């Protein structure tokens, strides 16, 4: 005959089963809460979803406990209480909810300009060195991001350009860094282009040269396609651009040589994504389950919460694989600011826009395209601009660098500055003109 189970084993099995059921109940309530967060777009800082989840949990627990004696009637309410505590953490801010702008940098004065568009932007001016190479046309820098602060590393590069004779102006796009916020619905790629035109007008220096990097390259590309804005531009340098429109964003393709993504050590420092509230908010935004206008976290709170470590592998992807173990610190915690929601909103308006190519074909503003060897950008993003814009007379394929071409490693800053300066001063290019329009099919086929 089989040996009967011991009372201890029976009790253990029952306890295990009850714990499994309780865990399943907590998980189900948490998943229901997340679903309601998405359905309500985080209304009321998540309290609408939390109240509905708690009410449902209490009702179900009361139904399950109706036939039980006291104090066993309380048992079904335990998972509800646990789930209520866990989900409540998503509804409670842990950083200030009002705007906390970075302190002014010690190496350059911060000005604030009111633009005709209504944007109030933080401006940095690096006057040219007193050399024979001093340039009469001012140079405007459009940073990437798009809604973030200009990194300390970029500021170093701008000082290098100033030492080579360029009169450099840079501004943090509306909502980024020390610039004032906009209502969320006003963050559009069209607004960014209008802000560029208004900034050049506010300089009151005539036409300007413009260097646009990454997201700034998208703004500059779209400016070239708008005759009213292009008329304000003297020359354009488009460096490592993102997709210029919806069709380009949906174009499949390959990237450059291997980047350091997945190879570099993880960034150290605090992460907002280790806090339940911001892990849920940024995670659901990234999945498209929350809109940038979400009621879960406000624009200012989201920017206050986001940290350099939250960029994670995105930073590593801007460097070549061979540089994985020596990626420099791009920014300081004091200077860093990034608005994930506003950036997502701008990027969405790019993806929703029709083809820019027909308008870009009418552009005659002289332009140069810069492409990095280890670019993390889809190659077709750059080649589609090259194919459509007749004003691009020079392309510089930058060997040995990733997406962030001026990165302080080796002589990368000097090489990038030499390429930009040679073009703006109408001197021979330091590198071959490659790829040309005719070489685009070969360039893509060889997966350069």
Q: For the chain, report the end-to-end CA distance as a whole number of angstroms.
A: 75
Domain final residue pick, 27, 57, 91: 91
Q: Is the pTM of this model over 0.85?
A: yes
10-14, 40-44, 74-78, 148-152: segment of lowest average pLDDT: 10-14
The reply to whether 83 and 115 lie within a common domain is no
105 assigned to some structural domain? no
Predicted local distance difference test score (pLDDT) of residue 294 = 95
Encoding tokens for residue 442? 């070969």
Closest by Cα among 154, 151, 146 to 102: 151
Peptide bond into 71 cis (omega under 30): yes
Q: Which residues 6+ apart lie within 8 Å of 3 measured at CB? A: none
SS (H, E, C) 215-248: HHHHHHHHHHCCHHHHCCEEEEEEECCCCCCHHH
The reply to whether 85 and 41 lie within a common domain is yes
The reply to whether 126 and 12 lie within a common domain is no
27-31, 206-210, 429-433: segment of lowest average pLDDT: 27-31
The reply to whether 41 and 119 lie within a common domain is no
Predicted local distance difference test score (pLDDT) of residue 312 = 78
Encoding tokens for residue 203? 């300089």
The reply to whether 156 and 214 lie within a common domain is yes
Which domain covers residue 355, as residue numbers? Answer: 111-445
Q: How confident is the model at residue 322 (pLDDT cuts 50, 70, 90)?
A: very high
Predicted local distance difference test score (pLDDT) of residue 133 = 76
Q: How confident is the model at residue 9 (pLDDT cuts 50, 70, 90)?
A: low
The reply to whether 64 and 166 lie within a common domain is no
Neighbours of 255 (CB within 10 A): 18
Q: How confident is the model at residue 339 (pLDDT cuts 50, 70, 90)?
A: very high
Predicted local distance difference test score (pLDDT) of residue 320 = 96
The reply to whether 48 and 190 lie within a common domain is no
Q: What is the CATH number of the domain that holds 171?
A: 3.40.50.1820
Average pLDDT, the chain: 93
Q: Contact at 8 Å (CB) between 249 and 441?
A: no
Residue 3 predicted with pLDDT over 90: no
Predicted local distance difference test score (pLDDT) of residue 23 = 87
Q: Are strands 168-172 and 139-142 parallel, antiparallel or unpaired?
A: parallel
Domain final residue pick, 25, 56, 91: 91
User: Rg for the chain (alpha carbons), in Å?
Assistant: 27
Residue 419 predicted with pLDDT over 60: yes
CA gap 23, 45 in Å, rounded? 26
97 assigned to some structural domain? no
Q: How confident is the model at residue 116 (pLDDT cuts 50, 70, 90)?
A: very high
Where do we find the tokens 């089963």? Answer: 17
Q: How confident is the model at residue 69 (pLDDT cuts 50, 70, 90)?
A: confident
63-67, 225-229, 392-396, 419-423: segment of lowest average pLDDT: 63-67
Comparing 44 with 70, which gets the higher pLDDT? 44
Per-residue pLDDT of 73-87, as tens digits, reads 777 788 889 999 999
The reply to whether 167 and 86 lie within a common domain is no
Domain count of the chain?
2
CA gap 35, 95 in Å, rounded? 25
Predicted local distance difference test score (pLDDT) of residue 17 = 64
The reply to whether 51 and 122 lie within a common domain is no
Residue 19 predicted with pLDDT over 80: no
Closest by Cα among 208, 197, 190, 126 to 164: 126
Residues 63-92, mean pLDDT to the nearest whole number: 84
Per-residue pLDDT of 139-154, as tens digits, reads 999 999 899 999 999 9
220 assigned to some structural domain? yes
Comparing 289 with 311, which gets the higher pLDDT? 289
Percentage of residues in the chain with pLDDT exceeding 70? 96
Comparing 312 with 213, which gets the higher pLDDT? 213
The reply to whether 129 and 165 lie within a common domain is yes
96 assigned to some structural domain? no
The reply to whether 168 and 226 lie within a common domain is yes
101 assigned to some structural domain? no
Domain final residue pick, 62, 91, 120: 91
- Cα distances from 244 to residues 252, 344, 346, in angstroms, run 14, 15, 12
Burial of 362 (0-12, 13-18, 19+ CB in 10 A): middle
339 assigned to some structural domain? yes
Q: How confident is the model at residue 194 (pLDDT cuts 50, 70, 90)?
A: very high
Encoding tokens for residue 113? 């300009």
Dmax of the chain from CA atoms?
A: 104
Predicted local distance difference test score (pLDDT) of residue 214 = 97
Comparing 11 with 307, which gets the higher pLDDT? 307
Closest by Cα among 416, 290, 389 to 34: 290
106 assigned to some structural domain? no
Q: How confident is the model at residue 131 (pLDDT cuts 50, 70, 90)?
A: confident
The reply to whether 304 and 217 lie within a common domain is yes
250 assigned to some structural domain? yes
């Amino acid at each position: 005959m089989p040996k009967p189970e011991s009372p201890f084993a029976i009790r253990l099995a029952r306890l295990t089963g009850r714990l499994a059921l309780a865990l399943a109940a907590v998980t189900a309530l948490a998943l229901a809460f997340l679903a309601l967060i998405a359905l309500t777009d985080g209304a009321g800082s998540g309290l609408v979803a939390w109240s509905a989840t708690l009410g449902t949990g209490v009702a179900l627990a009361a139904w399950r406990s109706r036939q039980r004696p006291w104090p066993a009637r309380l048992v079904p309410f335990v998972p509800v209480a646990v789930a209520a505590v866990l989900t409540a953490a998503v509804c409670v801010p842990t950083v200030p909810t009002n705007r906390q702008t970075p302190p002014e940098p010690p190496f350059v004065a911060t000005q604030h300009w009111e633009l005709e568009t209504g944007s109030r932007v933080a401006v940095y001016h690096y006057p040219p060195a007193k050399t024979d190479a001093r340039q009469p046309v001012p140079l405007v820098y459009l940073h990437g991001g798009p809604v973030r602060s200009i990194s300390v590393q970029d500021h170093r590069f701008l000082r290098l350009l100033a030492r080579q004779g360029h009169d450099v102006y840079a501004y943090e796009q509306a909502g980024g860094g020390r610039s004032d916020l906009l209502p969320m619905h006003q963050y559009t790629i069209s607004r960014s282009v209008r802000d560029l035109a208004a900034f050049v007008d506010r300089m009151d220096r005539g036409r300007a040269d413009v260097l646009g990097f990454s997201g700034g390259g998208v703004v500059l590309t779209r400016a070239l396609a708008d005759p009213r804005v292009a008329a304000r531009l003297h020359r354009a340098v488009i460096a490592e651009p993102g997709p210029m429109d919806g069709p380009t964003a949906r174009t499949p393709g390959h990237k450059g040589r291997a980047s350091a993504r997945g190879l570099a050590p993880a960034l150290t420092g605090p992460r907002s994504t280790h806090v339940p509230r911001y892990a849920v908010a940024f995670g659901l935004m990234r999945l498209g389950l929350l809109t940038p206008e979400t009621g879960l976290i406000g624009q200012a709170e989201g920017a206050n919460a986001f940290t350099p470590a939250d960029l994670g592998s995105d930073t590593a992807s801007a460097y070549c694989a061979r540089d994985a173990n020596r990626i420099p610190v791009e920014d300081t915690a004091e200077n860093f600011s990034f608005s994930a929601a506003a950036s997502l909103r701008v990027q969405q308006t790019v993806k929703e826009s029709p083809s820019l190519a027909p308008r870009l074909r009418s552009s005659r503003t002289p332009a140069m395209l810069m492409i990095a060897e280890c670019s993390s950008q889809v190659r077709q993003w750059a080649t589609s601009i090259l194919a459509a814009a007749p004003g691009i007379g020079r392309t510089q394929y930058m060997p040995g660098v990733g997406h962030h071409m001026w990165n302080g490693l080796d002589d990368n800053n000097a090489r990038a500055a030499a390429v930009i300066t040679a073009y703006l001063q109408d001197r021979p290019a330091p590198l071959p003109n490659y790829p040309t329009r005719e070489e685009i099919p070969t360039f893509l086929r060889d997966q350069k």
